[in-house]
């Protein structure tokens, strides 16, 4: 989520609250001085500010809720280079640690397997994002008969991670915030000079084809 949205929302909320407190104490002060007309006028201002505060609170909460539940963060870039018939080179860049690697895959599609830790929706609203651990990458044939006749090209990605998320979560299964943990696969076509970007959402990993002339990420300096 864009942090500037949260910043401006809380800034407006805090400013409105300060104005509300100002009119409240000003109205009390005028009531003590028995300035009836002035206190009534300030009371109307107080009600208007209170109405505005409630309105922006409801609207802002809905906007923040939508952004939290639809939150996406980029986790990897993939670039495909065709070598020969049904043989491709996948260049993979992991944004978490800026690790670059290459794999020779056989087939028509690349497949990424991952382990997902999903939190309950209200835990997402509190700031907890779904976690992932990339498990393996493999080549995949569209034709099932061809898939059976050829040995799969599979490479482990677990060693590229900085920690073992799956093992870590086994120790904290008692957490009420934890919704589910499961495996997930994403597969898309392999064609020459195709590029993809992988995103982590609150429910799992998705991949989108992107237009990229080179295999570069602005998030990694190396």
**pTM, to two decimals:** 0.69
Distances (CA, A) of 188 to 23, 93, 155, 162, 199: 60, 17, 17, 26, 14
pLDDT exceeds 80 at position 127: no
List the one residue out of 72, 71, 63 whose CA is nearest residue 10.
Answer: 63
Report how far residue 134's alpha carbon sits from residue 113's, in angstroms, rounded to the nearest whole number: 6
Q: For residue 213, what pLDDT is reported? A: 52
Distance from C-alpha of 5 to C-alpha of 8, rounded to nearest angstrom: 5
For 98, other C-beta atoms within 10 Å of its C-beta total: 12
For residues 132-151, average pLDDT: 91
* Tokens describing residue 116: 């997902």
Domain ranges of the chain: 3-69, 73-210
Decide which of 202 and 168 is more confident. Answer: 202
Residues 148-196: tens digit of each pLDDT:
999 889 999 866 555 555 565 665 566 666 777 788 999 999 999 999 9
Could you tell me which residues come within 8 angstroms of residue 183 by beta carbon, excluding any fewer than 6 positions away?
Answer: 113, 114, 115, 116, 135
Which has the closest alpha carbon to 160: 105, 92, 218, 220? 92
pLDDT of residue 172: 58
- Using the structure block, give the residue that is written with the tokens 């670039």: 79
């Amino acid at each position: 989520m864009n942090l500037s949205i949260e910043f401006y929302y809380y800034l407006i909320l805090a400013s409105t609250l300060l104005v509300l407190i100002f009119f409240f104490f000003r109205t009390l002060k005028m009531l003590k001085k028995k300035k009836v007309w002035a206190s009534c006028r300030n009371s109307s201002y107080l009600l208007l500010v209170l109405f505005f505060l409630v309105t922006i609170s409801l609207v802002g909460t809905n906007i923040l809720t939508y952004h939290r539940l639809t939150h996406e963060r980029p986790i990897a870039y993939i670039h495909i280079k065709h070598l020969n018939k049904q043989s491709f080179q996948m260049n993979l860049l992991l944004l978490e640690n800026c690790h670059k690697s290459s794999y020779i895959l056989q087939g028509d599609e690349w497949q990424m397997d991952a382990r997902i830790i999903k939190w309950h929706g209200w835990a997402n609203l509190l700031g907890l994002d779904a976690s992932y651990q990339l498990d393996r990458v493999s080549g995949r044939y569209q034709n099932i008969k061809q898939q059976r006749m050829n040995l799969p090209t599979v490479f482990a990605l677990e060693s590229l991670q900085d920690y073992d998320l799956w093992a870590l979560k086994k120790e904290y299964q008692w957490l009420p915030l934890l919704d589910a943990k499961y495996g997930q696969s994403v597969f898309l076509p392999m064609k020459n000079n195709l590029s993809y970007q992988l995103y982590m959402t609150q429910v799992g990993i998705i991949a989108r084809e992107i237009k990229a002339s080179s295999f570069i990420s602005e998030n990694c300096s190396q």
